[in-house]
Amino acid sequence: KLRHQAGTTDYYYLFIFWCSCRVHYLSLLRFVSAELTRGYFLEHNEAKYTERRERVYTCLRIPKELEKLMLFGFFLCLDAFLYVFTLLPLRVLLALIRLLTLPCCRLSGSRLLQPAQVCDVLKGFIMVLCYSMMHYVDYSMMYHLIRGQSVIKLYIIYNMLEMADRLFSSFGQDILDALYWTATEPKERKRAHIGVIPHFLMAVLYVFLHAILIMVQATTLNVAFNSHNKSLLTIMMSNNFVEIKGSVFKKFEKNNLFQMSNSDIKERFTNYVLLLIVCLRNMEQFSWNPDHLWVLCPDVCMVIASEIAVDVVKHAFITKFNDIPADVYGEYRASLAFDLVSSRQKNAYTDYSDSVSRRMGFIPLPLALLLIRVVTSSVKIQGALSFICVILFYLGMITLKVLNSIVLLGKSCVYVKEANMEEKLFQSPPSTVPSRESSRAHRSKHTHEPAGESVEEGMLASIISQPTHQPECTASKLPTSESDQFLTTPDESEEKVLIQDGTELIHRAPKKDLLEIDRFTICGNRID
């Protein structure tokens, strides 16, 4: 009987265990069935998924919009670069003819040369002096000196040269602008400078040193091309991909991205010229054998492709992480087009090549000087036929320059019109330097006005449209432009500038308009 009761208890526990297993089994089947048939509706969070889709579309649009900007900027740099070889010598020749013939019949009180002609003559003299100084630099000795260094040392040298090139560009345009203004400043104005000759010597020294720096860059790149295992070229190309790491995961504003785009345009054009110099030097060493050009083509294409890929990836992820639309590149293109259109006006205050230098940090004089030095040392001109070929080549360059300028001007007018920026071409900027009394009255006047009006007035001040030349009797008038102040540090609310001849402060709105941003303007406490 006890045994029968024990068996019944065992069956009972087995039955309970079987039921629990069946329940768990049914729960497992129900869970698996729920996982297989579970549904959800993306439309419940429509805004989120729409935003994600737009980000994907933005990333897909970035390469097209970026390359349109890069192509337009490339031809802008090419136009400024060709100007040094084509129109600048002719303008210098016309200015010298005027300088030699005008004293015989000039009217009293008239200028010997117009300010633009003075600047052209100064540029011509700088190029001639620096070219004569470049003959004392031995390219072959520099090449073998660099070739004897280790790969790691050359990689470090190349990075240092890139940083030095940016520093030279930032300070070099200031030196050239100071020379131009010192040479063309009205005579009646109280002199507050060291004189034209010291400024001219500083400009000559700058252009010469910058040309030497670019020559070292070209020589290092030439060594990388001629190395047997191409290890140095690979390391130098990998340096471009390191740039992605340093830029993608940082906060960028619209103005910062504009500066980076200008820097990429200038860097790409400079690299193309450096590749041209490398090809010229290599073709000279192989007696201009066309077969060797096909040997260089894979390396040249690899460098260009890596540069384009890095720029596309960098800009795509910067716009993604900072929620910047792809249409912003159209605004950047319109800003560059505005510089070109305004430089063709009668009231332009600067040459277009100088405008490109300020906006992009591209100074064509040192690069053109180096290219002239390399071409004259690589190409031997002998006989009348060679001179005829040189003349035809020069006429071809002039034709290319004129055609490029016409196409760029037409495209720029279209871009400016699409951006609704025509009215800014006819705005009258402030043409006088405010005195202490006028600035005090101006400040007291604006203390009773709304803050929005002062900001709007600062935004309306165009950097391009400047007053036409005034007679020398109005020497107190001085063209001013906020874009000429290359290094400005705007505060979050407003900027304060200390006047040297007084203790008063002038409050200025920070630069937010793209037309007021150049390559070396600090935006958000950084320069990219």
In tens, the pLDDT along 161-175 reads 888 988 898 888 889
Q: Is 522 part of a structural domain of the chain? A: no
For the purposes of burial, counting CB atoms within 10 Å of the CB of 360, is it exposed (0-12), middle (13-18) or buried (19 or more)? buried
Average pLDDT over residues 465-470: 42
Q: Is 331 part of a structural domain of the chain? A: yes
* 255 or 2, greater pLDDT: 255
Q: Which residues contact 334 (CB under 8 A, 6 or more apart)?
A: 415, 416, 418, 419, 421
Q: Is 480 part of a structural domain of the chain? A: no
Q: Is 13 part of a structural domain of the chain? A: no
* 401 or 247, greater pLDDT: 401
Count of domains in the chain?
1
Average pLDDT over residues 57-72: 91
* pLDDT the model gives residue 442: 43
Q: Within 10 Å of residue 217's Cβ, how many Cβ atoms?
A: 21
**Residue 398: is its pLDDT beyond 90?**
yes
* pLDDT the model gives residue 75: 94
In tens, the pLDDT along 83-117 reads 999 999 999 999 988 888 876 655 555 677 888 88
Using an 8 Å Cβ cutoff, are 186 and 203 in contact?
no
Using an 8 Å Cβ cutoff, are 241 and 310 in contact?
yes
Strand partners, 505: 498
Share of the chain above pLDDT 70, in %: 71
Average pLDDT over residues 271-276: 93
* pLDDT the model gives residue 106: 55
Tokens 């912003």 locate to: 328
* 79 or 452, greater pLDDT: 79
* 128 or 243, greater pLDDT: 128
* pLDDT the model gives residue 424: 74
Range of the domain at 138: 59-101+111-426
Q: Is 116 part of a structural domain of the chain? A: yes
Q: Distance between CA atoms of 383 and 381, rounded to whole angstroms?
A: 7
Average pLDDT over residues 344-351: 71
Tokens 């995961």 locate to: 249
Phi-psi region of 383 (alpha: psi -120 to 50; beta: other; left: phi over 0): left
In tens, the pLDDT along 26-42 reads 677 777 777 788 777 87
Average pLDDT over residues 235-245: 75
**Cα 1 to chain centroid, rounded:** 102
**Residue 351: is its pLDDT beyond 50?**
yes
Confidence of residue 493 (pLDDT cuts 50, 70, 90): very low
Strands 505-508 and 495-498: antiparallel
Average pLDDT over residues 188-205: 80
Mean pLDDT of the chain: 76
Confidence of residue 11 (pLDDT cuts 50, 70, 90): low
| Residue 195 DSSP label | -
**Of the candidate ranges 71-75, 144-148, 267-271, the one whose mean pLDDT is the lowest:** 144-148
**Cα 472 to chain centroid, rounded:** 36
Q: Distance between CA atoms of 321 and 277, rounded to whole angstroms?
A: 38
Model pTM?
0.75
Q: Is 518 part of a structural domain of the chain? A: no
Q: Is 30 part of a structural domain of the chain? A: no
Confidence of residue 192 (pLDDT cuts 50, 70, 90): low
**What is 203-252 written as a DSSP string?**
HHHHHHHHHHHHHHHHHHHHHHHH-SS-HHHHHHHHHHHHHHHHHHTS--
Using an 8 Å Cβ cutoff, are 495 and 509 in contact?
yes
* 210 or 98, greater pLDDT: 210
Q: Is 162 part of a structural domain of the chain? A: yes
In tens, the pLDDT along 333-347 reads 999 998 888 877 776
Q: Nearest-CA neighbor of 207 among 126, 122, 322, 93? A: 126
3-state helix, strand, coil in the chain (%, to 5): 70, 0, 25
* 340 or 358, greater pLDDT: 340
Distances 91 to 86, 113, 277 between C-alpha atoms, Å = 9, 12, 27
Confidence of residue 284 (pLDDT cuts 50, 70, 90): confident
How many angstroms separate the first and last alpha carbons of the chain? 95
Q: Which residues contact 355 (CB under 8 A, 6 or more apart)?
A: 339, 340, 343, 464
Cα dihedral 487, 492, 497, 498 sign: negative
Using an 8 Å Cβ cutoff, are 276 and 374 in contact?
no
